[in-house]
Amino acid sequence: MFHFDDSGPIYTQLADQLEELIFTGTFQAGDQVPSTTQLSRELHINPATVLKGMNRLVDDGLLEKRRGRGMFVTPSARQQIMTKRKSNFFDDYIKSVITEAQKLGLTEDHLIELIKRGYQHDHNEN
């Protein structure tokens, strides 16, 4: 379920992967996520590292601590992730597509047509 590489700190990768599991519905609102101890044992990483990653999700409002019971997905977690990702989508993808289109001399209308064609292609395959 979890995979780590050299792309960044393990706690960040853990938090990102837990966020993805919430976003995709593996963990839903109200679900308890595995404990720090459980994740530490299963993943063979320091409990403090796991806690640091989980605390990032608590700080982001995606998980809530329930004293003596564990950590649970907040009711608004998936929507918060969706909102954040929609906001980042423009900066992470659209800006670079527009920049590349301008370098290629594509007009706005032509770019929109290409996007429509991409949606149609995707729809026809499904």
3-class SS of residue 66: strand
pLDDT band at 110, cuts 50/70/90? very high
Across the chain, mean pLDDT equals: 94
Q: Given this model, what pLDDT does residue 112 score?
A: 93
Alpha helix positions (H), 60-107? 77-89, 95-103
Which ranges in the chain are annotated with CATH 1.10.10.10? 10-75
pLDDT band at 1, cuts 50/70/90? confident
Alpha helix positions (H), 1-126? 10-23, 36-43, 47-59, 77-89, 95-103, 108-125
d(CA 106, CA 78): 36
Q: Is the predicted pLDDT of residue 126 greater than 70, yes or no?
A: no
CATH class of domain segment(s) 10-75: mainly alpha
- pTM check: above 0.95: no
Cβ burial, residue 77 (10 Å; 0-12/13-18/19+): buried
